[in-house]
Chain A
Amino acid sequence: MAHTETSGTNRRDFLYIATGAVGAVGAAGLAWPFISQLQPDQSVLALSTTEVDLSPVAEGQIITVQWRGKPIFIFNRAPKDVEAARAVPMSQLIDPQPDQDRVKAGHENFLVVIGICTHLGCVPLGHQGNYDGWFCPCHGSQYDSSGRVRVGPAPLNLPVPPYTFTSDTKIVIG
């Protein structure tokens, strides 16, 4: 039934679709660089890790450093702050997570969190609120000494960024 095949699809249809397909691939190939140029460039990626010396941070002090343009809170907690954070029953937490999971073993006094309220992105104020932690001036969310949300409207705890201790007094974030 060769004649039915040729009447269904002829040479012109093939050329038409093949040309269109090559054109579409070419257009997509050309579009990609114009989309990709909006992504973080090499000079931004080069700044994606931050080294912090913790030795000047006194007990009870909160310092703020910058990592990828964001504020990072580093809180050198007093033993009572750690105990208070670990004594809270999970049932009282909005976003339940034990304090042990939010710090590095052997360095339980240091809390490192991203200082951006999980509600709408404001930077909370340290040593304020009723939970020995942070108070967000924008909409009144409160965080405890483990950076966990205790009073809404924020839905989640302050996130812990990826970081490692490179020595007893130095961390690398990112």
Chain B
Amino acid sequence: MEGHSTYQPQGKVARWFESRLPLVGLMHSSAVAYPTPKNLNYLWTFGAILTFMLVCQIVSGVVLAMHYTAYAPVSFARVEHIMRDVNYGWLIRYIHANGASMFFIAVYIHIFRGLYYGSYKAPREVLWILGVIIYLLMMATAFMGYVLPWGQMSYWGATVITNLFSAIPYVGETIVQWLWGGYSVGDPTLNRFFSLHYLLPFMIAGVVVLHIWALHHVGQNNPAGVDVKSVAKDTVPFTPYATVKDVFAMVVFLLFFAWFVFYIPNYLGHSDNYIPANPLSTPAHIVPEWYFLPFYAILRSVPDKLGGVLAMFGAIAVLAFLPWLDTSKVRSARYRPLFRQFFWIFAVVAVGLGYLGSQPAEGGFVIASRILTVYYFVHFLVILPVLGLIERPAPLPASIADAVLAKGAKGAALPAAKA
């Protein structure tokens, strides 16, 4: 998109460099002059928060790797060494462990923002699919990172998740042994997980670059869901407007993050993971980290091994097809009265599945999981395609500027009405 200004290199050196590598110009056009819709709300700050969280996880993770050893007989003790011996090791490990949860909180807000405002619709399909790929990479990275402390939850989490692949007909067992590098989860598994846990964040960073590139190519969506018609009327330059807003949101998010790190650092973890891995005894109540719970509930709700695994992976894969499953041309839920209600039902179902994933798989919990799992798929495969055909959307504003002015006029009218 055409920005609000163009970078003019000042001075001989800047001109010399810019004609050889237009790096400063690229930064200027994508982070200074880049036009952002003037009606963006705070839900649009989560992209910046997520970028910050990725950097936070990489920096704290590189430091932890300096003090950690991936070797089954010592890994548990090495993590305790970080907690007790290394200067501020406790802080850096708690930042990293809670940072993973914060990363997922931010990504779920980011994803639901996209769902509500139809950010996946044309021309943003590739942008959306790149996001789904980032989400998958995040899940793989988080899972492998959780294995590294080599506690009971690490060990049995690794066992359960890798055993998902044993559901594949005929070759399942062979694939699982290949994943393990042995006949059970063991030292070879730990070492390859450590290697991949270090690699994947950099792959995420690469896909994030593509994600931002795609975003800046097609332009941001906005709460009204209508396209930018006039850069001058509908947008403001990224700097200072979006930069300052993003930084402010980040500071507020950091307060929330710091509260976990300093006051309840183990609230989101499991106490069983402070028991060294024991291949001979599974903990009585085994659950994944909270951010996997909805998918765990879907896995358990299907009374068939292969079926459960397919449903779980299908629940994520269906997101990639969303741009074509939602048949409505209107992006924002603001102008889709029926979709807006189904969106909130879906949000409650997703949180409900998370709750059910944390409960034992018995009695009423199983029945509820089954109902919600069916609804999860019905939402994407039936409700969204049909809604686009039968729903009568509210009239769209002519432009972003009109949407902003209409809102302003309503606000201004209120005191007048009183008087």
Q: Chain A residues in contact with chain B, CB under 8 A?
A: 32-34, 36-39, 41-44
Contact = CB atoms under 8 A, between A and B. Distances in A.
Interface string B71-112: 000000000010011111101100000000000000000000
A39 B91 CA distance: 15
B88 A33 contact: yes
Interface centre among B81, B85, B92 (most CB of A within 10 A): B85
A39 B89 CA distance: 11
Contact of A42 (B59, B63, B85, B92): B85
A34 B55 CA distance: 14
B270 interface: no
18 contacts: A32-B88, A33-B87, A33-B88, A33-B91, A34-B63, A34-B92, A37-B63, A37-B67, A37-B87, A37-B89, A39-B87, A41-B67, A41-B81, A41-B85, A41-B89, A42-B84, A42-B85, A44-B85
A43 to B, nearest CB: 4
Nearest to B89: A37
Contacts of B84: 42
A37 B86 contact: yes
Contacts of A44: 85
A32 B92 CA distance: 11
Contacts of B81: 41, 43
Main secondary structure, interface of B, reads: helix
Contact of A36 (B59, B66, B87): B87
Interface of B: 59, 63, 66-67, 81, 84-89, 91-92
Nearest to B90: A33
A36 B88 CA distance: 7
Interface centre among A32, A33, A42 (most CB of B within 10 A): A33
B142 to A, nearest CB: 22
A26 B253 CA distance: 15
Which 10 pairs show the lowest CB-CB distances between chains A and B? A33-B88, A42-B85, A43-B85, A36-B87, A41-B85, A41-B86, A37-B87, A33-B91, A37-B88, A36-B88
A37 B81 CA distance: 12
A34 B59 contact: yes
B55 to A, nearest CB: 12
Given A36-B87, A41-B86, 11 more contacts: A33-B91, A34-B92, A37-B66, A37-B87, A37-B89, A39-B87, A41-B67, A41-B81, A42-B84, A42-B86, A44-B85
Contacts of B67: 37, 41
A34 B86 CA distance: 11
